[in-house]
Chain A
């Protein structure tokens, strides 16, 4: 066990087998963020208080969003790995108290792996949350380590948001949802292992989207009845992590009665109940007098539930099973995984930046037609042309969202790759008239013990880029050890960017017929970005349709235009680089007098 000596120091003795299991999970990279915590805490806007980040959209509306990876499970069992990835991120957003209204997926594979596409589609479609956009990157760099990152987004009123902590020793924690079995025991530590080695038989997590849909409705009803004081979804580390985080963030302790957890497999041992990663479960903080109604609502939704923990001021985490105390340790010990040293780095020269490899020009159109992108009746801009745009009913406002990464730049310069990824993601938002308001970061990296510098540079690039644009990183995820026989993936920082749209009725669903111009500057110089955004605003006001792809044309663009009855003529193809440009479809010479360089590159007819 990694950090074993540290554990011995913390406990003041050798750990018992259960303590070892528990800390292996709590201090795994997936739960403890040992290698990335220091860098994450430097990111602007980061708060450890919440599951998923919150940004304001205006008029009392808030947007909650987060991105999460499910790489290792998707490599072993693509369908269920991808499906449960969607399930997990949906619950993360749901736990904030708002209804999840959109899913985006960022897929990086060596070829389109049907199981992954089907897994995301079947789960997302069944729960009735539209998959409104995503990113498809096909490259042999991901042959043994496919990356599946799912982002979820919810919109609601600020007053609906629920904290992810307990606040009083009088409270109790109810766990409800599907039954608990042996799913994914040690999945959290499994996720931190190189895939070429022998792995013990892991109980693959299987998704149950029907139960998830019921969970969504049950939880929202509980929230609307004022029964939820705090909530956390059960993900990596199951009951252990959800309950100790709720306790710890509230400065409290408590006793978890594992016998109370409703089980699917009746012969489970205590530590298995504690660490099981059975899906579709949620932890709700409430008071004893309201717990009965919470359980009633769960039952009405065909779900199981029980009061599983009673809180106190002890600061200790106590887990009891079969009359025995299985675990009794300070809550803080579980939550404070040893932090690896962070490296101080400075921005390298821009001249080091270059494109190291290309992506297959695989059209994403056949993929996103397998996802219901319309359910909810809020999708204004469907997948394929740029960021997704969703309206908020009863308002003219809306939200724009996209996922983007530039791992093709990261081998030459992980720092600048993060910078470019963030700037390009925001350019996409600005292209539909949105004002960027927040970011979630999905870090996918190789081995930080072998290459700690690349990690430091990747995170520093994101930090500096966010500061320059004045954007908070409100949530995120880190997936490390994506290697095969020691070979890492290129550092892949996926940026999930969200923008506020003031008037969704001003967003066009389709380009007009007209000439396609490329506008902006060759090369990358962050100080020029503001001028590019101003140029985009000017051209939008003049009625141009804007897009901000990294290359032109793409198979996806051609397919999407064709499905609209339009065709594309290309005068000058633009290979993927890192220029600060965007495309403007101009019906009638709207570019006159623009103070940015521009050239004609094609025509839509």
Chain B
């Protein structure tokens, strides 16, 4: 296992896996697809991409969170691997209980695809160290169930929406676990790595991960 290997977990119905793979490669990582029966042991980074795992048929992320591979994700997270959950990936991590709270249907009941402004509140995580604290960035969202509900518990907030986007409590857009090695976010950083696609504020997230891993060597 090399230090820049990234497992991109693919559940039945995941559909942002290839985009995540592409962005990771662009950022200098060595991504590999890992399916339900795959092996996660030893990966320094695990990416759980967006999409509609199991069609979102029960609750978004509910079925995927209960697959064997998800138990392996938990084990690796407990060993300190970096785990990045984007959109459906965030929903899966929350359904797994690896991150607190819940992701509910957008307030207006509609799917929303657009670029939104965010504030990077916590620039000390391995995913955000290349941003300035309080930096304003622009990333795209595309989801129907992005309303973050914190349920009164403790939450390490990493990013917030500048304007109310879907009724998320306190505008929470991204959260990390206490240790900071697991990040869940509804916006898609992998869609913001090339100017031609609309913006490049996602690059710093992948660079942060790269720098963090390099600092461990």
Binding site for B on A (CB under 8 A): 121-122, 125-128, 208-210, 213-214, 301-302, 368-377, 379-380, 382, 391, 393, 504-505, 509, 563
Is B198 at the interface (CB under 8 A from chain A)? yes
- Quick one: closest A residue to B114, CB to CB? A369
Of the listed stretches B10-18, B39-47, B67-75, B152-160, name the one at the interface; the rest are far from the partner chain: B10-18
Q: Are B12 and A302 in contact (CB under 8 A)?
A: yes
> How many Å from the CB of A566 to the closest CB on chain B?
15
Query: What residues of B have a CB within 8 angstroms of the CB of A301 in the complex?
Result: 12
Q: Which of B19, B51, B55, B190 has the most CB of A within 10 A?
A: B55
Q: Are B197 and A210 in contact (CB under 8 A)?
A: no
Binding site for A on B (CB under 8 A): 12-13, 15-16, 18-19, 22-23, 51-52, 54-57, 110-114, 140, 142, 144, 188, 190-191, 194, 196-198
Q: Are A374 and B197 in contact (CB under 8 A)?
A: yes
Q: Are A380 and B196 in contact (CB under 8 A)?
A: yes
| Assembled-state Cα–Cα distance A393/B110 (Å) | 31
Q: Are A209 and B112 in contact (CB under 8 A)?
A: no
| Assembled-state Cα–Cα distance A153/B40 (Å) | 35
| Assembled-state Cα–Cα distance A368/B111 (Å) | 10
> How many Å from the CB of A352 to the closest CB on chain B?
43
> How many Å from the CB of A565 to the closest CB on chain B?
11
- Residue in contact with B112 in the complex, picked from A213, A370, A391, A504, CB distance below 8 Å: A370
Q: Are A126 and B52 in contact (CB under 8 A)?
A: yes
Q: Are B140 and A374 in contact (CB under 8 A)?
A: yes
Q: Are A375 and B16 in contact (CB under 8 A)?
A: yes
Known: A372-B111, A377-B23, A505-B196. A210 touches B54 (CB 8 A): yes
> How many Å from the CB of B180 to the closest CB on chain A?
28
- Quick one: closest A residue to B57, CB to CB? A210
Q: Are B22 and A377 in contact (CB under 8 A)?
A: yes
> How many Å from the CB of A180 to the closest CB on chain B?
19
- Chain B, interface SS category: mixed
| Assembled-state Cα–Cα distance A128/B52 (Å) | 8
Query: What residues of B have a CB within 8 angstroms of the CB of A125 in the complex?
Result: 52, 111, 142, 144
Q: In the complex, given contacts A374-B113, A377-B18, what are 15 additional A-B residue pairs having Cβ atoms less than 8 angstroms apart?
A: A126-B13, A128-B16, A208-B55, A209-B52, A368-B113, A369-B114, A372-B111, A373-B113, A374-B188, A375-B15, A376-B19, A377-B22, A377-B190, A377-B194, A504-B196
Query: What residues of A have a CB within 8 angstroms of the CB of B144 in the complex?
Result: 125
| Assembled-state Cα–Cα distance A382/B142 (Å) | 14
Query: What residues of A have a CB within 8 angstroms of the CB of B54 in the complex?
Result: 210
Q: Are B114 and A563 in contact (CB under 8 A)?
A: yes
Query: What residues of B have a CB within 8 angstroms of the CB of A213 in the complex?
Result: 12-13, 15, 52, 55
Known: A379-B197, A391-B196, A393-B22. A371 touches B113 (CB 8 A): yes
Q: Are A370 and B52 in contact (CB under 8 A)?
A: no
Q: Are B113 and A372 in contact (CB under 8 A)?
A: yes
> How many Å from the CB of B199 to the closest CB on chain A?
10
| Assembled-state Cα–Cα distance A199/B111 (Å) | 34
> How many Å from the CB of B217 to the closest CB on chain A?
30
Q: Which of A369, A371, A377, A379 has the most CB of B within 10 A?
A: A377
| Assembled-state Cα–Cα distance A122/B15 (Å) | 14
> How many Å from the CB of B167 to the closest CB on chain A?
16
Query: What residues of B have a CB within 8 angstroms of the CB of A209 in the complex?
Result: 52, 55
| Assembled-state Cα–Cα distance A370/B110 (Å) | 7
- Quick one: closest B residue to A382, CB to CB? B198
Q: Are A377 and B57 in contact (CB under 8 A)?
A: no
| Assembled-state Cα–Cα distance A375/B13 (Å) | 13
| Assembled-state Cα–Cα distance A301/B10 (Å) | 12
- Residue in contact with A380 in the complex, picked from B110, B113, B191, B197, CB distance below 8 Å: B197
> How many Å from the CB of A379 to the closest CB on chain B?
7
Q: Are B22 and A210 in contact (CB under 8 A)?
A: no
Query: What residues of B have a CB within 8 angstroms of the CB of A214 in the complex?
Result: 12-13
Q: Are B191 and A377 in contact (CB under 8 A)?
A: yes
- The 6 A-B pairs of least Cβ separation, nearest first, read A128-B15, A210-B55, A372-B142, A126-B52, A377-B19, A372-B113
